[in-house]
Chains A and B, each alone.
Chain A
Amino acid sequence: MAVALDDSLDVIRPWVEAADPPLTSVRVALDADHRLAEAYGITNVPATVWIDEDDKVVKPPTITPGNNMFQEFTKIDAEGHHAALRRWVHEGVLPELPDRGDGTDANVARPPTAEEQTGRTERRLASWLHRNGQTEAAERHYARAVQLAPLDWTISRGSMPARGQDPFGNDFFDLYQEWEDAGRPDYQAMPGGDVPPSPDA
């Protein structure tokens, strides 16, 4: 299942149509209110969650680039996830996830702070306002959301298109720098492939 954290079907349709190979066996859905993102603790993309036959989440969100085109920025070897996925599917073996180093359980999504929950709420309202033509009110709530949860990229980068900012331009470079300075939080990779550099390196 490929769930898009975007504002409308019109925005995502060209991406789906351009997919090569075509997404014939993948169910695509739109999560404009970021309800699925919140339900699973997804704060950046691309991310995968693994769900087993008993509807248990057996792997929390980890960052899963499809390939290594942007490895300079992601510092993640895409093959780590893909190899681990094959092992789980064919052998039923789950990967050992690296410790986050913050005292939280690496096998479940990181618990959010109160500010992050408020930020999600403000963003959800802002997105609805934007989609319903209340542009000025939307901007106020987007700004508040980003202030509350600046390092949740689904909030700070995800709101850039609606706010008239470029998610691939200077506004994004500023976010990237702020996030790097904060130690690249919530960017959990899978072990395997090329060993990624440790967060302290």
Chain B
Amino acid sequence: MCGTGCAPGAPAVTSPVMTPVELTVLSTDETVTVGALAEDDRLLLEASAVHAVTGWEPKPEGLCRGDLCIPVRDPAARDHEGRYDLARVAAALHRPYAAERLDDESRAVAAIGEAAHERAAVYNDGTAPRVDLIDLDGNPITVPDHSRRKRLLLAWSSW
């Protein structure tokens, strides 16, 4: 089919190709895998998936966490089916964003970082953040632990 003013031999208007993908999202706290739709460079998520990967819940007022809601003014943030463009959700939250499709077209990965002011607020707050890592046996370990002692955290590397 084509739009108005069709000329003989005009190309048909085709719908963009939407591919279901398994999307791995690397946030600053954790790695979460959700289903999404990939359309060209866009990753489109249902509201529940946006909530799962960002911690912010889409509501009519915007993206909400507790009592705080951030309005999403970008008209391109949602598609005609109401799905959310993850890059534009990250932009509405003022967070850095980067994403890639994998060689296996059924998979994609995105990293959503923390805004500079959010990160600074954590430093200024002074409370030691707890982070889930893995130990030498590959088992989960939380750093720092809950020991209520003086603790020394050493960061090192092979490089």
Residues of chain A at the chain B interface (Cβ within 8 Å): 1-6, 9, 11-13, 15-16, 27-31, 33, 35-42, 45-57, 60-61, 64, 85, 88-89, 105, 108-114, 116-118, 120-122, 124-125, 128-129, 132-134, 137, 141, 144, 154, 157-158, 160-161, 167-168
Is B127 located at the chain interface by the 8 A CB criterion?
Answer: yes
Query: What are the 5 tightest A-B residue pairs by CB atom distance, in nearest-first order?
Result: A121-B113, A111-B120, A167-B159, A125-B111, A121-B96
- Min CB distance A157 to B, Å, is 5
Q: Which residue of B lies closest to A144 (CB)?
A: B98
Known A56-B128, A129-B100: A39·B122 in contact at CB below 8 Å: yes
Known A13-B136, A38-B119: A129·B151 in contact at CB below 8 Å: no
- Min CB distance A189 to B, Å, is 15
Contacting pair B141 A5 (CB below 8 A): no
Contacting pair A124 B154 (CB below 8 A): no
Residues of B within 8 A of A49 (CB): 128, 152-153, 155
Contacting pair B131 A36 (CB below 8 A): yes
Contacting pair B116 A111 (CB below 8 A): yes
- Min CB distance B56 to A, Å, is 17
Residues of chain B at the chain A interface (Cβ within 8 Å): 24, 26, 28-29, 31, 95-100, 102-103, 109-116, 119-120, 122-124, 126-129, 131, 133-136, 138, 141, 143-145, 148-159
Residues of A within 8 A of B156 (CB): 2-5, 15, 45-46
Task: Apart from A111-B123, A144-B98, list 16 A-B contacts with CB within 8 A.
Answer: A3-B154, A29-B143, A38-B28, A39-B131, A40-B128, A40-B129, A49-B153, A51-B150, A111-B120, A112-B120, A117-B113, A124-B26, A125-B26, A125-B110, A133-B103, A141-B98
Most buried by A among B97, B128, B134, B157: B157
Contacting pair B153 A124 (CB below 8 A): no
- Min CB distance A11 to B, Å, is 5
Q: Which residue of B lies closest to A123 (CB)?
A: B111
* CA gap between A137 and B107 in the complex, in Å: 14
Contacting pair A31 B131 (CB below 8 A): yes
Residues of A within 8 A of B99 (CB): 125
* CA gap between A183 and B8 in the complex, in Å: 67
Residues of B within 8 A of A61 (CB): 155
Most buried by B among A6, A40, A51: A51
Contacting pair B153 A40 (CB below 8 A): yes
Known A112-B116, A128-B24: A134·B143 in contact at CB below 8 Å: no
* CA gap between A34 and B87 in the complex, in Å: 22
* CA gap between A54 and B146 in the complex, in Å: 10
- Min CB distance B123 to A, Å, is 4
* CA gap between A39 and B30 in the complex, in Å: 12
- Select A35's contact among B29, B109, B158, beta carbons within 8 Å: B29
Contacting pair A29 B135 (CB below 8 A): yes
Known A6-B158, A56-B127, A125-B98: A48·B153 in contact at CB below 8 Å: yes
Contacting pair A134 B153 (CB below 8 A): no
Residues of A within 8 A of B133 (CB): 3, 29-31, 35-36
Residues of A within 8 A of B135 (CB): 27-30
Residues of B within 8 A of A118 (CB): 96, 113
Contacting pair A11 B158 (CB below 8 A): yes
* CA gap between A51 and B96 in the complex, in Å: 29
